[in-house]
Structure formats: structure tokens, C-alpha cells
Amino acid sequence: MMAGLVLSFIGVTLLMWHAHLTLDPNTPANGALLFVMALAGLIRYTYRAPKSRTQRISRDAAEYLGMFIVVVVLGALASYPVAVGTTGYVDMTLEQIDQFFRFNWVGWYDFTVAHKSLQLLGSLVYASIYLTPVILLSYFAQADRKAEARVFIASFWAAAIFTLMLFVAFPAQGPLAFLVHGPISYMPTSALYQSELIPVLRDGTFHQVSLGALRGLVCAPSFHTTSAVLYMLAAWPIRSLRWPLIALNCAMLLSVPVEGTHYLADMIGGALVALVAYAVFKFLAKRLLLRKTLDSA
């Protein structure tokens, strides 16, 4: 897993170089990220041979959370150079898929506009994409469930790669930009970032990426949906967390069309990405466990 993250870092660095993009050196987020990663690394190294349960939990939690943060940051950062190489938009196709399933995005949006409570609740549960993995990885650390933690992180990592690959084929402005004409009554969390940032990345007028202001550029597939499905799959075997996390992530899924400015087609694609990534690494984990069992026999 660590080798995969190192290769991912090298890959993202090369993508940024090829797209003539650099990191903004003046953003405070750079220092904050370095501090967090250094702290996680220090804890992991200090307790590499733990002498108590507390030390083991601290070591594992630092390892899991540190690796997860790296995956998240690299995935979000990679979307910028990937966007540079995209052409056109597929919003018409995505909207036609929604029509096939009789999903009315504008109606969903208008219903949210008419209810302030839905706007507040939607923005809160949409942000829970950052809360659920902290809960899951902390549980895996204290319960000494290393294999499950690594399958979860690896699945998330693979899903991010699949999402970026599909982004190349399915760039989109998002339904807010494509379907809403005139004044915008309610600006959701994802705003108009796809329609505003992708063009300037393509034409080369955007050069510096700030870690403190990374924006979601991928419309299809929906990575919030991918994350929610992976979170629920990881939570299902954990009796104490199963229903609270499933409820939270179902609520997040309901917020995705408006707060994430996603078509239903994006969400279907995101769910499929999650299922494929999870199935691949679950299969690999079982094969590895079987091999270890046979080697020790």
C-alpha cells in the first residue's frame, strides 16, 4: 500500500509538471498538511514496537489516518492536471440519462431552494464525507482490524484512480451550470466550480493550485457517492457503527444532487466505481490471506 502511495505521489507530480501547474507556496494549508503528516509519521515510528494497547492504537490510527489523508489530497490535486487534458462536456448525455430514469434535477433543486432547513441540513451531511472515515479508521485502530483498514484505504485509493480515469471521458459542467438559467436562488456547496475552473485550466490561464482551496472538478462519476457506498460497505460488518453510519451516508447521498451539483447519472456511476473498487480489493485480500495460510501450513 505504501509503495502505491509513493507511486501515486510521483504520478501526480508528473501530471502537475506536464500541465504546467504548481502549488501555491504561500498558502497556510501547506504547512498544516506537512505538520499533520510529520506528526502521523512520528507517532507511527515512535510506537513501531508498541509496549501497550494505547501505543498500538496510537500507532495504527496515525498510520491509517495519515495514509487516508495522502489519498484524499493526491486525488483532489490530480483532478486539476487531469482537467487540463479534457475536451468538451457531456452534460447533454448525462441529462438524457436522468430523463430516462425520470429524475428531475431542477425540481429537486427548486424543492431545496424552498426549504432553508434542507439547505442547512444538506450542507452539513454533505461535509460528513470527512467525518465518516475518521470514525471508521479510529474503530479499526482500536479494534486491531488491520486487514479491514487496509482494504478500506486501498479501495478508496483505487476508486479515486478510477474516478479520475472516467473524468477524462466524461467532463461536465454540472447541472447547476447546465440547467439553471438566470439568477441562482441558492448556491450549494460545490457552487459552479466545474464550469468556472475547467475552462481556465484548459486554456492555460490557471497555473497555481492552493491546497487550502482545492475544489471538486469531477462531475461524473460522483465521488461523494463513491465514498458513501464505500463507507457503508466498510461499516456493515461493525454492529455498533452499522446503522448510524448507514443513516448518515444515506442522508449524504440525498444531499449529493444539489450540494454536489450532480446528475443522477453521476451518482449511478459513482456507486458502480465504489462496488468495483471494493470487490477488487476484497478479492485480493482473500487471495493474500489464503496464500499466507498455505505458506504457513
Higher pLDDT, 296 or 217: 217
- At 183-198, the pLDDT tens digits run 999 999 999 999 999 9
What percent of the chain is predicted at pLDDT more than 70? 95
Tell me the CB-side half-sphere exposure of residue 197, using CA atoms within 13 A: 23
pLDDT at 291: 55
Q: Which residue has the cell 468556472?
A: 196
Alpha carbon separation from 188 to 42, 178, 193, 231, 260 (Å, rounded): 38, 15, 11, 23, 7
Lookup: cell for 79 = 483532478
> Where is average pLDDT lowest: 23-32, 64-73, 233-242?
23-32
Of the listed ranges 56-60, 186-190, 269-273, 293-297, the least confidently predicted one is: 293-297
| pLDDT above 70 for 1 | no
User: What pLDDT does 144 receive?
Assistant: 96
pLDDT > 90: percent of the chain: 87
Quick one: pLDDT at residue 6? 87
Residue 164 has pLDDT above 90, yes or no: yes
Tell me the pLDDT band of 26, cut-offs 50, 70 and 90. Answer: confident
What's the CA gap between 67 and 73, in Å, rounded? 10
DSSP count for the chain of H helices, then E strands: 13, 2
CA distance 130 to 146: 20
Neighbour count for residue 52 (Cβ, 10 Å): 9
Q: What is the pLDDT of residue 289?
A: 55
- Structural domain boundaries in the chain: 2-296
CA nearest to 230, candidates 190, 276, 261: 276
Phi first, then psi: give them for residue 144, nearest 5 degrees: 55, 50
Q: DSSP per residue over 211-232, as a string?
A: GGG------SS-HHHHHHHHHH
Contact between 197 and 116 under an 8 Å Cβ cutoff? The reply is: no
Contacts with 15 (C-beta within 8 Å, 6 or more apart), sequence order: 78, 81, 82
Residue appearing with cell numbers 450542507: 123
Lowest-pLDDT choice from 178-182, 220-224, 243-247, 251-255: 178-182
Residue 220's pLDDT is 96
Cβ pair 118, 185 in contact under 8 A: no
Amino acid type, 162: F
As to burial, measured by CB atoms within 10 angstroms (0-12 exposed, 13-18 middle, 19+ buried), residue 51 is exposed
Q: Quick one: angle between helices 242-259 and 264-296, nearest 10?
A: 140
How far apart are the C-alpha atoms of 145 and 60, rounded to whole Å?
10
**Which helix (H) or strand (E) is 71 found in, with range?**
helix 53-84
The answer, as to whether pTM is greater than 0.85, is yes
Give 266-278 pLDDT, tens digit per residue: 999 999 999 999 9
